[in-house]
Amino acid sequence: MIMNHMYISIVSHGNDDDIIDNFNLKEINSLSNVTVIIRDNLSSQRLSEYCSTHGFEYNSSDLCLGFGSNNNINFKVSRDLGMSHNDWFVVCNPDLNISESMINNLLSRVNSQSGKIYSINLFFDKEFSVMEYSLRKFPTFLSFFNVLKGRSFTDSYEKAELQDGSIVDWAAGSFLVFNADLYENLGGFDEKYFMYFEDVDICYRAKKIFFQDVVYLRNVVAIHQGGYKNRNIFSQHFRWYFISLFRFLFKSTFGLMK
């Protein structure tokens, strides 16, 4: 079996400590078929020096860009590094911790299957006992009734009931695996979203335009701290969340997907 290369894109917004303290990340970057690319949105000298010392691909900008724009830049870097159409592009949050053995497991799984987008099983704790509900159903304007009922706006799947290899609508961009060719054909993330719903949007477009579903790999696990800054209604994150929400709803409802 041919083991295609995996390019892992991590965007730092002042996440120096998350990256520097992540021992697993150094182990993963040492694998012959994995390249970790750090995109520094704040141009930290400390992070730059760390990446240089430990062999991470590093790039930065003085402009503060959004989640989609930064990952799209890392995809272009991956192409410049020799990414082929059958390789894998992984979007990974800086506060996510996955072991080297799980990356090898992931590579083995995606290289032996026919899917083009994959998600893994995220937990909040190192004992893997508290699941993160990172697999959800596409929202519609009717989803506003969820809020009136005191529920989350987007309905989540009950992960404990999902089988390995199950199909889901969308998965959080904290860890998403894309076939390189599909990501390029989609034009990457829609950069008009500054933050939030880029992951919903790209999964929706993959399904509607290229008939590619998100495949859930239950047995590949990782720990995600998760900030959930959008829950503070007085924060900039909350405003970004609702701007992005309405953008997605109008795009998906009125056929404006690119």
Lowest-pLDDT choice from 149-158, 203-212, 219-228: 149-158
Q: Is there a contact between 189 and 237 (Cβ–Cβ < 8 Å)? A: no
What is the rounded CA–CA span in Å between residue 77 and residue 117? Answer: 20
Given pLDDT bands bounded at 50, 70 and 90, which one contains residue 238? confident
Backbone angles phi, psi at 4, to 5 degrees: -70, 160
pLDDT tops 60 at residue 227: no
| Region for residue 161 given its phi and psi (left: phi exceeds 0; alpha: psi -120 to 50; beta: otherwise) | alpha
**Residue 210: C-alpha distances to residues 92, 133, 203, 204 (Å):** 23, 26, 10, 10
Domain 6-253, architecture per CATH: Alpha-Beta Complex (3.90)
In this prediction, residues 51-66 reach a mean pLDDT of 93
In this prediction, residues 216-221 reach a mean pLDDT of 98
pLDDT at residue 103, as a whole number = 98
Boundaries of every domain in the chain: 6-253
pLDDT tops 80 at residue 140: yes
Q: Is there a contact between 117 and 203 (Cβ–Cβ < 8 Å)? A: yes
Token duo for residue 202: 């790209």
Mean pLDDT of the chain: 91
Given pLDDT bands bounded at 50, 70 and 90, which one contains residue 2? low
Lowest-pLDDT choice from 13-17, 74-78, 87-91, 141-145: 141-145
- The DSSP string of the chain is -----EEEEEEESS-HHHHHT-HHHHHHHTSTTEEEEEEESS--HHHHHHHHHHT-EEEE-SS---HHHHHHHHHHHHHHTT--TTSEEEEE-TTEE--HHHHHHHHHHHHTS--SEEEEEEESSTTS-SB---EEPPP-GGGHHHHHTTS-SSPBP-GGGPPTT-EESEE-TTEEEEEHHHHHHTTSS-TT-SSSSHHHHHHHHHHHHH--PEEEEEEEEEEE----GGG-TTSHHHHHHHHHHHHHHHHHHTT---
Residue 25 vs residue 195, higher pLDDT:
25
Given pLDDT bands bounded at 50, 70 and 90, which one contains residue 146? low
Give, in degrees to the nearest 5, the angle at Cα 147 between 154 and 234: 95
